[in-house]
Structure 1
Amino acid sequence: MTDDNRDAEPGEEDIDLDGLEDDRTVQIKSPVSGIDSATGAGTSLEFTARSLFARRTHRWVKSELPAYLLIQCSWYMAFGLQMVLFPYLITNRLGLDGTELGLANMALSGPSVIFLLLGGVIAERSRSKPLLMILHFAAALPAAGLAFVLATGNLAYGFMIIYGIAMGTVGAFMMPARDSVLNEVVDRRSRVGSGVTLQQGVAFATIAQFAAQIAGLIIGGYADKLTRMPDFLGGFSVGPIPSWELLTFQAIIVAMGTGFAIFLARGRSVRTGRSGLGAAFGDINEGFQVVLANPKLWAMTALMFGVGIFVIGSFLVVLPIINRDIYGLASDGIRDMFVTFWLGAFVSSVALSVFRHIKRQGRLLLTAQLLGSLAILIMLAKPPHWVFLSIVFAWGLAAGVSIAMSRSIVQDAAPKDQLARVLSIYQLGFMAGAPFGAALMGWLVDFFPDQPQRVAVVPALGMTILIIWMVIRTPIWNMKNVSPGRA
Structure 2
Amino acid sequence: MEEPAESIADEISEEGADDITSPVSGVSEALTAGASLLSTATHWRARRVRRVVKIELPAYLLVQCSWFMAFGLQMVLFPYLITDPNHLHRDGLALGLANMALSGPSVIFLLLGGVVAERADGKRLLILLHLMAAAPALALAAFVWKGTLTYPAMIAYGLTIGTVGAFMMPARDSIVNEVVERRARVGSGVTLQLGVTLATMAQFVAQIGGLIIGGYADKLTKMPDWLGGFGIGPIPAEQLLFIQGAVLALGAIFALWLGKGRQLLSSGRGIQGAFADIADGFHAVRSDGKLWAMTALMFGVGIFVIGAFLVVLPIVNRDVYGFGPDGIRDMFVTFWMGAFVSSVVLSIFKRIKRQGRLLLIAQFLASVSILLMMWPIPHWGFLTIVFVWGLAAGISIAMSRSIVQDAAPKEKLARVLSIYQLGFMAGAPFGAFLMGALVDLFGPEKIAIVPAGGMITLIIWMVFFTPVWNMKGSAWLAHSQKA
TM-score of the superposed pair, with normalisation by structure 2 = 0.89
1:111 aligns with 2:97: no
1:468 aligns with 2:460: yes
Q: Which residue of 398, 408, 427 corresponds with 1:404?
A: 398
What is the CA distance between 1:226 and its match in structure 2? 1.0
Q: Which residue of 33, 37, 43 corresponds with 1:51?
A: 43
**Coordinate RMSD, CA, aligned:** 2.3
Aligned pair in 2 of structure 1 residues 70, 305: CA closer, same or farther (>3 Å)? Answer: same
What is the CA distance between 1:86 and its match in structure 2? 2.7
| Residue range with higher mean Cα deviation, 477-486 or 111-120 | 477-486
Which amino acid letter does the alignment assign opposite residue 211 of structure 1? V
| Residue range with higher mean Cα deviation, 93-102 or 247-256 | 93-102
Bigger relative contact order, structure 1 or 2, given CA contacts below 8 A and separation 6+? Answer: 1
Structure with larger Rg: 1
Q: Judge conservation of contact 2:130–2:251 (CA < 8 Å) in 1.
A: yes
Q: Return 5+ residue gaps in structure 1 as ranges.
A: 1-26
What is the alpha-carbon distance in structure 2 between the residues aligned to residue 101 and residue 363 of structure 1? 39
What is the CA distance between 1:234 and its match in structure 2? 2.3
What is the alpha-carbon distance in structure 2 between the residues aligned to residue 458 and residue 171 of structure 1? 30
Secondary structure of 1:477's aligned partner? coil
| Residue aligning to 1:129 | 123
Q: Which residue of 180, 186, 191 corresponds with 1:192?
A: 186
| Residue aligning to 2:286 | 292
| Residue aligning to 2:299 | 305
Q: How many residues get paired?
A: 459
Question: Identity over the aligned pairs, expressed in percent?
Answer: 68
Which amino acid letter does the alignment assign opposite residue 43 of structure 1? A
What is the CA distance between 1:145 and its match in structure 2? 2.6
Q: Judge conservation of contact 1:110–1:432 (CA < 8 Å) in 2.
A: no
Q: Which residue of 190, 213, 217 corresponds with 1:219?
A: 213
Q: Pairwise mapping of residues 375-390 of structure 1 onto structure 2 (< 5 A)?
A: 375-381=369-375, 383-390=377-384
What is the alpha-carbon distance in structure 2 between the residues aligned to residue 103 and residue 327 of structure 1? 27
Q: Judge conservation of contact 1:102–1:439 (CA < 8 Å) in 2.
A: no
What is the alpha-carbon distance in structure 1 between the residues aligned to residue 288 and residue 407 of structure 2? 8
Residues 115-138 of structure 1 show CA distances to partners (whole Å, capped at 9, x for unaligned) of 111000110011110000001111
Residues 275-307 of structure 1 show CA distances to partners (whole Å, capped at 9, x for unaligned) of 243110111111000100001101110111111
Q: Judge conservation of contact 1:132–1:174 (CA < 8 Å) in 2.
A: yes
What is the alpha-carbon distance in structure 2 between the residues aligned to residue 321 and residue 224 of structure 1? 24
Q: Which residue of 30, 35, 55 corresponds with 1:38?
A: 30
| Residue aligning to 2:167 | 173
| Residue aligning to 1:423 | 417
1:78 aligns with 2:61: no
What is the alpha-carbon distance in structure 2 between the residues aligned to residue 100 and residue 318 of structure 1? 19
Aligned pair in 2 of structure 1 residues 409, 137: CA closer, same or farther (>3 Å)? Answer: same
Q: Judge conservation of contact 2:20–2:26 (CA < 8 Å) in 1.
A: no
| Residue range with higher mean Cα deviation, 63-72 or 163-172 | 163-172
What is the alpha-carbon distance in structure 2 between the residues aligned to residue 414 and residue 170 of structure 1? 24
Aligned pair in 2 of structure 1 residues 327, 254: CA closer, same or farther (>3 Å)? Answer: farther
What is the alpha-carbon distance in structure 2 between the residues aligned to residue 105 and residue 239 of structure 1? 27
Which amino acid letter does the alignment assign opposite residue 45 of structure 1? L
Q: Which residue of 223, 243, 254 corresponds with 1:249?
A: 243
Aligned pair in 2 of structure 1 residues 397, 67: CA closer, same or farther (>3 Å)? Answer: same
Aligned pair in 2 of structure 1 residues 108, 453: CA closer, same or farther (>3 Å)? Answer: farther
Residues 172-207 of structure 1 show CA distances to partners (whole Å, capped at 9, x for unaligned) of 100000000000000000000001111111111111
Residues 6-54 of structure 1 show CA distances to partners (whole Å, capped at 9, x for unaligned) of xxxxxxxxxxxxxxxxxxxxx9952333333333223222221111111
Aligned pair in 2 of structure 1 residues 255, 92: CA closer, same or farther (>3 Å)? Answer: same
